[in-house]
Structure 1
């Protein structure tokens, strides 16, 4: 059987995983990025990311997250790299605003995801790092945890190259008909997968920009207290705090405690803006730490990250063919919760790309609409 010539554009987690699975299916794949894979502008970079099955009432993503967890562990065993730490994830349900958390518990019961439901006093006893005065209850998913994000991308890239894949540096743009060009020339390939994250929007103004928004996310890493291991991943879980618009990760491999307070609609010019933390975000994060993690009051910020995410109205991914160019497949669309799904997402895209099956309705470009927090898998 003739091997297809495949080009995957974008070497973030979506692109690398898609390229790896296509190569392992027997295709001949070239992976192209403007910069070195794992570069600091990519949404997939950073020290770590949360992996959890918590998805509200959405059984699809709940099952995908569980499948992806197993695949991450397989990759970890195959590579010998520490890719994932199962420190658990704590979701804090704020009094009077628990619809998403209530739905998550029901979904976990249906799907069979292990979890505990803690009262505020039980949270204080088990995880005294958190101040939970206004919390109604908390869900704890013990098999959740964190992924070492940059290491995951680089490890998957090595697996791709070891399987015979080719990595090239180059700039892919589009012409007025949205036909992909490499360094100004049309790309000649049986298949072109576009996995360029936030850059997908500007590359495809007619097709993708109309159903996506770009926003910046400010992330701060705070030092742990002198002589204390209370905020290390061995003693503290990742957490999600929708009532405060925040999430975080305990200190892993000496990183410091990661906390992100999402400021809605933070604009970012992905080509020209410096990746620097805004003063407003610094102040807001410190206010949040005083409220939720009083043991970190007075500790210094030791690192930071300002990155971009591309969001669809319904927060579902995009895995669909270009309406005009039948060999162009989009893969991405919601980097806010794509990373943890990386292995299963890449495997799924590879199957759509080789036309072993069609895409899911939720991943199609057409008929996108904004979901309510109750409906949204991300709770926003």
Structure 2
């Protein structure tokens, strides 16, 4: 028989970046918290592994994210101070595309409105600064000087370590089998039953499989993202000392690319397509992603002619997209002590520090610090009877 002392304040399911950040915030505020992870840690089967992610302030029309990024940077700095490790490299974030393209124009407008240091320039200036990048003469570029690279795996481990230092309990290699709602929520795993006053479900791509079982049919689409590293033919022009992180929308189909200068593999630049085939997260290798590689190779030949034509290293990651690419951060429609975090759509990592704070507020019955209307579950069903 379990007694009252066996009841946690909060159980967080999923020790990816969003779940780990949430657990950290809860333990730091004195809550008795259990963080459960289905796989042995560290693992590379979800969305939070790998050594690097882009971070930036500008968010075009979705300015509510820019507002949240202010605090995300602050919490990230606090975590950096607590763990004594560099988690952020401020090398800048370069956005480029055809003149008048909304992605570039909206980035510039957003940076202006928020007073963030930035520069806008044309291809003549680009050729002086970044001579190995080959862009058409009608392209324009905006450099967000607040942007840069997050050391992703270090940040994930820092959240988990600090969570435990604040008294939290982390159990990995323990998949959830079922959830039983009530004033006290019970979580059945492969190793037993855990109970808590509230639960946060940060399930990553597995949310698409589990949430329908508890009556939440959010339209989630897991995608396999092909992460490619390309070798420079000569020189060190794309090193983190010489080149910023970057993003570009060419306007042709789903050809949004993102890239990070060479650091995690010396001499290899990370350049990826921001899109991929739909998958089942438990069977990700069953899909054909040759078209992704063909598309990205064409972009490398066109815009990065001093990189080798074939990638040296190819890894995979999972995005879980919502139809509007905004997150789901909400409580269950019937059980207010079951909090749902899902659909981070390939841009959640940089916001994880502040997302963790908001989810911790939802899990403890506090009013969230931000307008949550963009993140509600019911936004997908408003037009239905």
Question: Which residue of structure 2 aligns with residue 158 of structure 1?
Answer: 161
State how far apart, in whole Å, the 1-side matches of 2:41 and 2:27 are: 17
How much does 1:190 deviate? 0.4
2:177 corresponds to which residue? 173
1:190 to 2:197 alignment: yes
Could you tell me which of 274, 281, 287 is aligned with 1:262?
A: 274
Relative to structure 1, is the Cα distance of residues 103 and 251 closer, same or farther in structure 2, using a 3 angstrom cutoff?
A: same
2:343 is matched with: 333
What residue in structure 1 maps to residue 79 of structure 2? 75
Alignment of 1:363-378 (within 5 A): 363-368=375-380
What is the number of equivalent residue pairs in this alignment? 365
Aligned-residue CA RMSD (Å): 2.5
User: Residue 176 of structure 1: CA displacement?
Assistant: 9.9
Task: Report the more deviating stretch, 118-127 or 281-290.
Answer: 281-290
Residue 365 of structure 2 corresponds to residue 362 of structure 1? no
The correspondence for 2:263, drawn from 211, 234, 252, is 252
**Deviation, structure 1 residue 238:** 0.9
Question: Match for residue 232 of structure 1?
Answer: 239
The residue that corresponds to 2:118 in the other structure is 115
Hey, what's the Cα distance between the residues in 1 that align with 2:102 and 2:8?
A: 47
Measured after TM superposition, the shift of residue 276 of structure 1 is 9.3
Which deviates further from its counterpart, 253-262 or 170-179?
170-179
CA contact (8 A) 1:277 1:304 kept: no
User: How big is the shift at 1:275?
Assistant: 9.1
Moved more, 102-111 or 20-29: 102-111
1:223 aligns with 2:231: yes
Shift of 1:303: 1.8
Matches of 1:215 and 1:161, distance apart in 2 = 32
Q: 2:63 aligns with which of 47, 59, 62?
A: 59
Q: CA shift at 1:335, angstroms? A: 4.1
Match of 1:273 among 279, 284, 287: 284
Alignment CA distance shift 1:77-1:332 (3 Å): same
Gap runs ≥5 in structure 1: 371-380
Alpha-carbon distance in structure 2 between the residues aligned to 1:41 and 1:73:
28
Q: 199-208 or 86-95: which moved more?
A: 199-208
The 10-residue stretch of structure 1 (313-322 or 158-167) with the greater mean CA deviation from structure 2: 313-322
1:94 to 91, 98, 102: 98
Residue 361 of structure 2 is aligned to residue 351 of structure 1: yes
Question: Residue 374 of structure 1 corresponds to which residue in structure 2?
Answer: none
Shift in Å at residue 334 of structure 1? 1.4
Structure 1 counterpart of 2:312: 302
The Cα offsets for residues 267-288 of structure 1, whole Å up to 9 and x where unpaired, read as: 2121023399933333322211
Structure 1 residue 200 displacement after superposition = 0.9
Q: Does 1:201 align with 2:204?
A: no
CA distance in 2, matches of 1:51, 1:233: 14
TM-score of the pair, normalised by structure 2? 0.87
Q: Which runs of 5 or more residues in structure 2 are unaligned?
A: none
Q: Distance in 2 between matches of 1:179 and 1:312?
A: 28
Structure 2 Cα separation of the partners of residues 192 and 275 of structure 1 = 33
